[in-house]
Amino acid sequence: MSLTGLFLISFLLVHCSINALMFLNDDGLLFNEAAHFMASNILIRTVEIFLFLFLIIHILQSVAITRQNMKARTISYAGSSATATSKWYSRSMGILGALILVFLVIHLKDFFIPSRFTDRLGFDSNGTPDMYSEVKMAFENPAYAMIYILSMIVLAYHLLHGFQSAFRSLGIYHKKYTPVIEFLGTAFSIVVPAVFAAMPIFFLLKK
């Protein structure tokens, strides 16, 4: 879980950095170029296979662990005190993860598949496939933009627990460095989803 999770976290960083290029005032020319590079470079395409593989392993492991953990207590408590002793999102990783999966299906169907397997995309003034216009068009629909923004809130909470939990599961704990990891984890969980959520907001406002 932790290793696949950390790999997925590293992917988010790359994805987020490239998406941030959309905020440049160049009608998406640089973003299109970066998106095209990511879609055509052989090395990136190879890593992409591992990305999907690790995503599937991450999901399968979570199902296996959840099943094992549910079997460990079949009679639950009448009184509950969970809120006093742990954060709600640390107890809801499965639900948050499932919501992210629903989002991923929508996301891949609307952006990844059309750009990779169809010739739906037009071309920008540099002759590069115009992913920017595709994104812009999608996010000008407020309902669609809202789904994205809400999904990013879900992702933020998933990361808020997942980032530091991954290090703990790998046995990495140190009086000096663990607070640093926790700080980085919190910062990552806020900044990365915020950048993603800024895209629909950006295009909605621009419209």
Partner 1 sequence: MRLTLKVWRQKNKSDKGGFETYQLNNVDTHASFLEMMDVLNEQLVNENKIPVAFDHDCREGICGACSMVINGRPHGPLKGTTTCQLHMRHFHDGETVTIEPFRANAFPVLKDLVVDRSSFERIQQAGGYISVGTGSAPEANNIPVNKVDAEKAFDSAACIGCGACVAACKNGSAMLFVGAKVSQYALLPQGHPERNERVLNMVAVMDEEGFGGCTNTGACEAECPKEISVANIMRLNREYISAKLSVEKE
Contacting positions for partner 1 (CB under 8 A): 65, 68-69, 71-82, 84-87, 90-91, 93, 161, 164-165, 168-173
Closest approach of Cβ 177 to partner 1, in Å? 12
Instruction: Identify residue 122 by its one-letter amino acid code.
Output: G
Closest approach of Cβ 172 to partner 1, in Å? 7
Closest approach of Cβ 179 to partner 1, in Å? 13
Phi, psi of 129 (to 5 degrees): -50, 130
Residue 25 burial class via C-beta count within 10 angstroms: exposed 0-12, middle 13-18, buried 19 and up = exposed
Dig out the tokens for 39 from the structure.
């879609």
Is 32:131 a contact under the CB 8 Å cutoff? Answer: yes
Nearer to partner 1, 25 or 76 (CB): 76
Nearer to partner 1, 105 or 172 (CB): 172
* DSSP notation for 27-43: TTHHHHHHHHHHHH-HH
Nearer to partner 1, 16 or 98 (CB): 98
29 CB contacts (<8 Å, ≥6 apart)? 124, 125, 126, 128, 132
Helix (H) or strand (E) holding 131: helix 131-139
Distance CA 16, CA 23 (A): 12
Is 158:97 a contact under the CB 8 Å cutoff? Answer: yes
Closest approach of Cβ 6 to partner 1, in Å? 14
Closest approach of Cβ 104 to partner 1, in Å? 21
Closest approach of Cβ 66 to partner 1, in Å? 9
